[in-house]
Structure 1
Amino acid sequence: MDLNVKTAAGAQTIQVSDDVFGAEYKQSLIHQVVTAYMSAARSGTKAQKNRAAVQGGGAKPFRQKGTGRARAGTSRSPIWRSGGVNFAATPRNYEQKINRKMYRGAIRSILSELNRQERLVVVDEISISQPKTKELVGKLKDMELKDVLVVSENPDENLYLASRNLYGVDVRDVEEIDPVSLVAYEHVLVTESAVKKLEERLA
C-alpha cells in the first residue's frame, strides 16, 4: 500500500507493508495491551500494618472485669487509636503477561487505524534550526497539528528542547514508542525514515 508523504516539494508517496499499516483493527487486543502497559507502570508499593505488625500491645491494657469498659486484650486492635488496620494493604505487583506477538500486533493495529482515520501524518523530515518553542509551534501550525506525537528515527536535541514546554506535544525516538503514547494523541507525525524503521520492527 502507499502512504502520502509531505515534503517541501509537495506530496509524494512511499510503498509500505499492508501487514503493518493496513492491518485489521482489533479493539480487544489493543485494550488488553494498553491496560497491561499502564498496569506495569504502577508502583504497587502501598503498605499498611495489621494488628500483628504494629509495635507494642503485648500486655492486656486493663483488667477484664470491673472497669465498666468493653473487654480488651490488646491496645493494637483495629478499633483502637494507633491500632492495626483491618485487611491491611500489602505491596503487590500489577504486571500482566503480554507476549511479544500480542504487543507487536497491537502496535500494527493502532498504526493501521491511525492511517485509516487520516491521523497518521508522514513527512520527509522534521527538524528545527535552534531550540526555540516558537519555531516548532510554527511548523506544527503550518501542518495544522496541535495534539501530536512526533516520532523520528534520530530526533535532534533542538527538537526535544523545543517541545518540552508545549502541552499536547511529545517527541519520541522510534524505539521509544509504546501503545499508550500512540493512542494518547490526536495525530502522530512520523518521519519517512521512522516509517521504514517501524516497518522493519513490526513486519
Structure 2
Amino acid sequence: MEISVTKLDGKSAGKVKVSDAVFGLEPRADLLQRMVNYQLAKKQQGTHVTQGRSDVARTGARLYRQKGTGKARHHAASAPQFRGGGKAHGPVARSHAIDLPKKVRALALRHALSAKAQSESIVVLDDMTSDGKTKSLAAQFEALGLKNALFIGGETIDANFKNAAANLAHIDVLPIQGINVYDILRRNTLVLSKAAVEALEERFK
C-alpha cells in the first residue's frame, strides 16, 4: 500500500510504499487491549505501602489483665482496632507488571499501526524540522489539521522541533525507539517521518 508524503508547509512530497505486513493487517482489539494493559501495569510504581501490626512502634505489653474487667481480652496496642495500631491487610510494595510474550508485543504494535492506517489517521512527513518557535509550528499543525497527534521521528529528533512542540497541548514527540501501542492509540493522529517509516519497515522485515 502507498501513503502520501507531505511537508510541514502542506505541500505534497510524493508517496511512500509501505508493507502490508506492518500497515495492512486487520486490527484485533483483543491484542491491543492486552498490550495496553501490559504497558499500564508496568508503568505503576507499586511503592504504596502501609505499616502493619509488626511495623508500628508500640508496646507489646498487655493493656490490662485478662479476666475480671468485663471488657474484651486485648493484648498489644499495635492491634489494628486501636488508634496508632497497624493497618490490617494494607498495601505492600510490589511489582504490578504482567507477562506478555515478546512476539505478542511486536504483533500488537503492527496491529496498532494497521488500525491507524485503516482509519486513515496516519500522516507521513518528509522532514521534522523547525525554527524553534512554537507559534509558527502551531500554525503549521493547524493548517495540516493536527490538533491531537503523536509524532514519531528517526533515531534523533531535531531539538528545535522537539522544544517547540513541547509547549503544545495534546502533541507528543518521540524518537522511533520510543514508539509504543499506548501512545499510538491515545492520540487521534499518528505522524511518522520518512525515517520512522523506513525504520519500522526494517524492524519488521
Does TM, scored on the shorter chain, surpass 0.5? yes
Displacement of 1:68 after TM fit?
4.7
Please report how far the alpha carbon of residue 11 of structure 1 lies from its aligned counterpart in structure 2 after TM superposition: 5.3
Relative to the length of structure 1, the TM-score reads 0.93
Alignment of 1:104-183 (within 5 A): 104-129=106-131, 131-153=132-154, 154-183=156-185
Q: Is the 8 A contact 2:128 2:158 kept in 1?
A: no
Q: How many residues align?
A: 202
- Identity, in percent, stands at 30
1:102 and 2:104 equivalent?
yes
Name the counterpart of 1:202.
Answer: 204
- Separation (CA, whole Å) in 1 of partners of 2:60 and 2:53: 11
Deviation of 1:94 (Å): 0.8
**Structure 2 partner of 1:6:** 6
Q: What is the Cα-based RMSD across aligned positions, in Å?
A: 1.5
Q: 1:22 aligns with which of 9, 21, 24?
A: 24
Give the Cα separation in 2 of the matches to 1:6 and 1:65. 86
Residue-by-residue CA offset, 1:54-103 (whole Å, 9 max, x unaligned): 22331101222444543311111111000111112211111111222111
SS in 2 for 1:73: coil
Match of 1:72 in 2: 74
> Is the partner of 1:92 in helix, strand or coil?
coil
Unaligned runs of 5+ in 2: none
Provide the TM-score with structure 2 as the length reference.
0.92
Q: 1:102 to 1:160 in 2, by over 3 A?
A: same
Q: Distance in 2 between matches of 1:187 and 1:86?
A: 47
